[in-house]
Structure 1
Amino acid sequence: MRLTKRTDIALRIAMRLAVLGEEVSPTTQEVAEAIAVPYSHAAKVVARLRHLGVIEARRGRGGGLTLTQAGRSGSLGTLVRDLEGVGDVAGCEEVPACPLRAACRLRHALRQAQEQFYTALDHLTIDDLVAPPTGPVLLALSPRPSGPRGRTTPV
């Protein structure tokens, strides 16, 4: 099983916000730079994470992104399920559709394997992912945003 790029970016954004804490609210641009992804990709993912209630985004002066309590302590398996969506691991429904799909045992086996993958993540949270040694590494990736926009403090 392989996660989509969007899910990978979403998890990195959530992890970055988790290590920054509630006192620091970076912009989408700052987070994108810190995790080395294009701003346009990060903006789309931030919108999805907001919709899921994982992050809060405030506009204007003093605005920025923060991880919600639900985002911090919610099940990682549930989050990945929400981000990945429900569907076949293989392209059973693509055009042209697989001629075996009506009687295929592989499709069922792959769905079971996918659910076991998600189940293995169910007991984890974003907070678990940023426990040492990961958290300090995430903080060291780039300057830490602080105060008014445009000012950063080296880590």
Structure 2
Amino acid sequence: MHITQHTDYALRVLIYLGACPERRVTIKEMAACFDISRSHLMKIVTRLVAEGFVDGARGKGGGLRLQCAPEAIGVGAVVRRMEPGFDLVECFRSDAACLLTSGCRLKGALHTALSAFLASLDTLTLADLIGNPPRLRTLLRIDDAATSPPR
């Protein structure tokens, strides 16, 4: 199974936000952490906001935070809503032109595999991915200075 880079980065954004529940996080901060262009990250965040996973506020004191608790965000739901489709092979598309489509057994096997992949992701929440927040903050190099309120 394969997820797009867009979905991979979306999950990283959610994990990062989950590691910083006490404050709003800027796109600039996450872009630097993950070495992703700010414009590319903005597209991902815009989608996460539209899908209801992230709350964004503009202006001074603005930034991003999770819309709800990490325990309420299912990984399978994020993947399904961020992925443009799961067309593993041509016959998954409505415009398939493969001559084998009407009698192919591979399509059923791949559909079963895809269902198992998504079912596995459905057993996880964002809280499971965050795990130990202090360790995650260390891995992400989030220092206490960045999380301190402005004076």
Query: Structure 1 length normalisation: TM-score?
Result: 0.82
In structure 1, the partner of 2:134 is 136
The one-letter code sitting in structure 2 at the alignment partner of 1:139 is R
RMSD: 2.3
SS in 1 for 2:90: coil
The answer to whether the Cα contact below 8 Å between 1:53 and 1:70 also exists between their aligned partners in 2 is: no
In structure 2, the partner of 1:18 is 18
The answer to whether the Cα contact below 8 Å between 2:90 and 2:96 also exists between their aligned partners in 1 is: no
How many percent identity over aligned positions? 37
Aligned residues: 146
The one-letter code sitting in structure 2 at the alignment partner of 1:112 is T
In structure 2, the partner of 1:45 is 44
In structure 2, the partner of 1:60 is 59
Query: Structure 2 length normalisation: TM-score?
Result: 0.84
Call closer, same or farther: CA 1:96–1:111 in 2, change over 3 Å: closer
* C-alpha separation in 2, matches of 1:16 and 1:104: 43
In structure 1, the partner of 2:103 is 103
The answer to whether the Cα contact below 8 Å between 1:9 and 1:45 also exists between their aligned partners in 2 is: yes
Q: Which runs of 5+ in 1 are unaligned?
A: none
Q: Which runs of 5+ in 2 are unaligned?
A: none
* C-alpha separation in 2, matches of 1:137 and 1:70: 19
Q: CA deviation at 1:64?
A: 0.1
* C-alpha separation in 1, matches of 2:11 and 2:39: 16
